[in-house]
Structure 1
Amino acid sequence: MVNSALESHRAPYLKQFRICFYINKSAQSTVTKWLEFVWSRQVERLELRFLCRSQNRTVVLEDMLGGMRPMKYLRELCWINMKVSGEDISLFLRNCPLLRKLTVISSNLTSDVHVCGQTLMLEYLQLHHCVLSSESSLINISAPHLSEVKIGASPGQLWFKNVPKLVVATFLHHFAFQVSCITSQLHKLTLSVSYTEFLDKFKDETPEAERCPHQRLEILEFRGSSASNIIQSMTYICDEFQKYNTCAPVMSEAEVQAHRDHLKQLKAKLSNQFRLCFFKVKC
């Protein structure tokens, strides 16, 4: 059905081309043919989303790019659940001069990623829930028009060099992230905090235990008119958290209530610069 629809399509322009389905190795050649159709059209948005039963069957993007041609009209690109190399990303950045938005989700990044270039028009970059090939893998970003990023990486893996227009940044998984991309233009910084390991460690031992609200933090969001305002808020919050560095797997109701009151005071004092979100935990 898909093949007949593509064969009957004669228009040179497509607003969006989206592939989303379960796949196995035998179907990869078919997807390659579909992409040959994409290379021959003026496509603005391209999304490849694949579901498979095991990592061994994950689609390798490089295997489908043999016939790729320059995509002069592509503005948005999204890859979900694929094996993507840094070379794949660089190839698209070179061949898609108008690319504004790049999203890679739940994928394996098999080599270092370099999103770099003085002529890049990229404004939005998301590398979300991706697995890097090793602890020494790097994500290097130098994009003069980049205004928003959402990235999950360990400390030391992410490096920014030239991002003068970056105003919104979201970092996932690591609260103690070394925020090396702070610029004077930054207006919003969101840090995602993982509570999963804490829960897994103690859920069997203390199923009915009171949970400290500090340990249920999922998101810390900072807003400010400049990077200095955000840094000031972050410093204040970290200092305040250190004062209540008494969280434990098992706490009395009075201790938990004292920590709740502490967070309420923080939220009231920094209501315009600071927002908290919590995991909903059912003991």
Structure 2
Amino acid sequence: MADSIQEFTDSRQRIMNSSRFMSIDSCPMCRKRIRIDSKRQPNEFCAKKRYIGYNKDDRISELPDDIVVHILSFLTVEEAARTSVLSSRWINLWEYTTRLKLDGDEGLAKLRRQYMFRRKLIESEERKYVRRVNRVLQSHKALTLKEFRIRFALQITDHASITRWLQFAFSRQVERLEFDLQDDDNYHFPEKLVSTSVNFKSLRALIFTNVHVSKGPIEFFLRNCPLLEKLIVCYSANLSNLQVCGSSLALKHLEIVYCYHLNPLTVSAPSLTYLKAATYDRLVLENMPRLVEVDVNRTDDDVSLRGLCSALSCFSQLETLRLTLLRKEKEHNELHKLPQLHKLKTLVVTYLLDGSETLTRLADLIRASPCLQELVVECEWKRFRRKDSELKDAAINPHHHLKVVKFSGYRCQTSDLEFIQYILLNCLVLDKLIIKPFASKNDTIEMEQTARKNTKHQLESRVPPHIELIIL
């Protein structure tokens, strides 16, 4: 009994908290009242008697139904449904919520990893999730949806249910659609869905993860969704030779990652501000005057990086570049004469290394960014060299804007120190140097403490007093 009372109190408090952050005057539902099924409302809560008997301090109960439904839209489906216990008035209000976030139990992913051979148990949990989603959709009564989200590691063969969920979302003129099937590698987006008479013009965000969608439907959405601002496609084996192009595209955020058969990818979108692309050597970029942030993978060689910088140098507003360098087997020399990125302020380099590289090869990226203010280098080591490389004299190339440098994966080896010395010698206005020593997943607390102690011992005397040294 005590647990039931506590659950009731917690549910009510969550709703009260949600209402504090909502501006009623700005709520779009204030202009158009929804219609609640009167047959399911008790007579004592008719319009004339609706607020009789409520506590005067209970402000939320004085709100109209459409405002309460708007508040419920910020809760999960389970939390919104629990509000039915608050009073008879709340029995079916959750069925009109405009946001359906149907996330699966995170514990199932652990269950699958730990009990990979207990297939019957996993399938049982998956079927429960499918039944739960179906029940929610059968009860739902709102005519439109702000958001519809499915996040679950489905591996069952009931792909017909997934297709019905997509049909449901499109029929409700969904604005934000997210399907993240996580570990599922079998569901293919049915192209027949885009050949129906459904109006897709309300769609503003489309996110597919582990949904195998092909070029045709993606380009259909780009052509027929004039409000589409965000497009994310991740882990799709069906995508190839994609063109995200159009002078009238409203697209601002684009992520096309880990679609291994996609080559080339052509992007020409005048409103685009953020672009993320992974594992593509043939990346064609043009006509993006508002582009301010790019996250891209590149092979660590002169030709690949020079081609990328040459393309990015045309975008005068670019301020942030996140770059993952995939090293080839062959050793390369230092980069030379990269095109200038004149507005770049933040550079994040994730470097996949095997221990034979010299990090001063990154110096050319620094020189190519004369207005750079923050540099983050994240080293992910595959293996360590048995014999360390010799320390080289760092070239003098003064930089007048770089204030913060963070180095993650520091191993106290000569190549690491070589890079730090380059930074200290050339970055004339450096304020802060942040070092995170390398630590593997198997390292003990004592090993991590030793790594920090060794890092401090190696760098403390080398870093000038006017520069703040932080060892994480």
Same fold (TM over 0.5): yes
Q: How do 1:254-269 residues align onto structure 2 when only pairs under 5 Å count? A: 257-268=413-424, 269=426
Q: 2:318: which partner in 1?
A: 186
Cα distance in 2 between the residues matched to 1:276 and 1:101: 34
SS of 1:185 mapped into structure 2:
coil
| Secondary structure, aligned partner of 1:171 | strand
Query: Is the 8 Å Cα contact of residues 180 and 210 (structure 2) preserved in structure 1?
Result: yes
Q: Distance in 1 between matches of 2:243 and 2:435?
A: 32
What residue identity is the alignment partner of 2:138?
Answer: E
Shift in Å, 1:132 = 1.9
Matched, 1:78 2:235: no
- The AA in structure 1 aligned to 2:206 is L
> Please, what TM-score do these two structures have when normalized by structure 1?
0.71
* Structure 1 residue 233, shift from structure 2 partner: 7.9
- Kindly indicate whether the alpha-carbon contact (under 8 Å) linking 1:23 and 1:52 is maintained by their aligned counterparts in 2: yes
1:5 corresponds in structure 2 to 136
Q: Say which of 267, 271, 285 aligns to 1:145.
A: 271
Report the secondary structure of 2:249's partner residue.
coil
Match of residue 165 from structure 1: 290
Deviation string 1:255-274 (CA, Å, 9 cap, x unpaired) is 574322221134343477xx
* C-alpha displacement of 1:101: 1.0
In 2, Cα distance between the equivalents of 1:117 and 1:9? Answer: 37
**Cα deviation code 1:161-195 (max 9, x no counterpart):** 21111111111253444212332221222211236
CA contact (8 A) 1:189 1:230 kept: no
Q: Which runs of 5+ in 2 are unaligned?
A: 1-131, 331-353, 376-383, 392-411, 444-472
Tell me the distance in 2 between the aligned counterparts of 1:68 and 1:47: 21
State percent identity of aligned pairs: 29
Q: Is 1:120 aligned with 2:256?
A: no
- After TM superposition, the runs of 4+ consecutive aligned structure 1 residues lying more than 3 A away are 22-26, 194-198, 210-215, 229-234, 252-258, 266-272, 275-283
The SS at the match of 2:326 is coil
Q: Show the 5 A alignment for 1:224-263.
A: 230-231=368-369, 249-252=385-388, 257-263=413-419
Question: What residue is the counterpart of 1:129 in the other structure?
Answer: 258
Name the structure with the higher strand share. 1
Structure with bigger helix share is 2
Q: Secondary structure, in 3 states, of the residue corresponding to 1:125?
A: strand
- For residues 40 and 249 of structure 1, what CA distance do their matches in structure 2 show? 58
Rg: which structure is higher?
Answer: 2
Q: What do residues 24-71 of structure 1 show as CA deviations (whole Å, max 9, x unaligned)?
A: 573111111111111111322111111446x5xx21113562547232
Structure 1 position 281, deviation (Å): 6.0
Q: Distance in 2 between matches of 1:91 and 1:277?
A: 47
- Structure 2 counterpart of 1:27, which letter? D
- Structure 1 residue 144, shift from structure 2 partner: 0.5
Residue 61 (structure 1) aligns with: 189
CA distance in 1, matches of 2:211, 2:175: 21
Which residue identity lines up with residue 161 of structure 2 in the other structure? T
Structure 1 gap ranges (5+): 199-209, 224-228, 238-247
Deviation of 1:231 after TM superposition, in Å, equals 4.7
What is the CA distance between 1:232 and its match in structure 2?
5.1
**Contact 1:61–1:84 (Cα < 8 Å) also in 2:** yes
Taking structure 2 as the reference length, what is the TM-score of the superposition? 0.45
Q: For the Cα contact (< 8 Å) 1:128–1:151, is it kept in 2?
A: yes
Does the CA contact (< 8 Å) of 1:147 and 1:167 recur in 2?
yes
Change (3 A) 1:63 1:20: farther
SS in 1 for 2:157: helix
SS in 1 for 2:152: strand
Q: Which residue number corresponds to residue 244 of structure 1?
A: none
Q: How far apart are residue 110 of structure 1 and its match?
A: 2.9
**Number of residue pairs the alignment of both structures matches:** 243
Residue equivalent to 1:19? 150
**C-alpha contact 2:268 2:285 (8 A) present in aligned 1:** yes
CA root-mean-square deviation: 3.7
- Partners of 2:435 and 2:312 lie apart in 1 by 23
Q: Which amino acid aligns with 1:116?
A: C
CA deviation string 1:143-176 (max 9, x = no partner): 0000111111333x11012111111111125344
Structure 1 residues 195 and 29, CA, compared in 2 at 3 Å: closer, same or farther? same
> Higher mean Cα deviation, 67-76 or 32-41?
67-76
